[in-house]
Amino acid sequence: MTGLTLVGLVSLNDPPRKRVDHSVEMCKQAGIKVIMVTGDQPATAAAIAHKVRIINDLEFTHIVSDHDTEHKKWEIRNGLTPQECEKRAKAVVVHGDSLAAKHFAEESWDDLDPEKGRYLLNWIDKDEVVFARTTPSQKLLIVAACQKAGHVVAVTGDGVNDSPAIKKADIGIAMGSGSEVA
């Protein structure tokens, strides 16, 4: 790039809604597992999840992403393979591209094969779970996997992209400030 002039910088801050951390804590105390599904980048999603107490300790968080070079450096510094890191982790942050790749690799498998979707069941079985950079169809996969695991699934959202998952869930919760379709 040439001939460009920097005229300024813009900083954006989109903080979590007030008292989300309190709501997450109340859910946990009631025995409800909170899984965050967002369009944010994995590092941003992990930071927000930590701020609202979905993830308690970022040190024990495994990020499943081919794009996350900082996490790869962490694995190398600590002498862990990605598999060892994932096994030891209490929390997992999964990039939508990784979810898509795993899903695509198993798409031709028979639906009755008990190993089909095992990767997703293993991810949602972690204590603390975040999905980042997800699409509406991936949100449906996550809801279906949670239901397959025997969970009663509640989904909350405020956008058009949330509405298919809200509809598929056992309990759909629309935000008052959201789009009409949600």
Is 122 inside a domain boundary? yes
How many CB atoms are closer than 10 A to CB 46? 25
pLDDT, average across residues 110-125: 90
The pLDDT assigned to 68 comes to 57
CA 177 from centre of chain: 22
Tell me the whole-structure pTM to 2 decimals: 0.84
Is 148 inside a domain boundary? no
Is 133 inside a domain boundary? yes
Is 124 inside a domain boundary? yes
Task: In whole angstroms, give the CA distance from residue 98 to residue 102.
Answer: 6
pLDDT tens string 67-79:
655 555 555 556 7
Percentage of the chain lying above the pLDDT 90 cut: 55
Strands 91-95 and 61-64: parallel
Is 109 inside a domain boundary? yes
Task: In whole angstroms, give the CA distance from residue 51 to residue 43.
Answer: 12
Is 55 inside a domain boundary? yes
pLDDT, average across residues 103-122: 90
Greater model confidence, 36 or 91: 36
Tokens 């209490």, residue?
90
The pLDDT assigned to 111 comes to 87
Q: Give the range of the structural domain holding residue 62, as residue numbers without chain letter.
A: 20-137
Is 128 inside a domain boundary? yes
pLDDT tens string 80-111:
776 777 777 788 899 999 999 999 999 899 98
Greater model confidence, 78 or 168: 168
Q: Kindly tell me if the per-residue pLDDT of 145 is higher than 90.
A: yes
CA 5 from centre of chain: 38
Q: Kindly tell me if the per-residue pLDDT of 149 is higher than 80.
A: yes
Number of structural domains found in the chain = 1
The pLDDT assigned to 97 comes to 92
Helices 96-106 and 136-148 cross at an angle (nearest 10°) of 70
Is 181 inside a domain boundary? no
- Mean pLDDT (the chain, rounded): 86
DSSP 91-136: EEEEEHHHHHHHHHHHTTS-TT-TTTTHHHHHHHTSSEEEEES--H
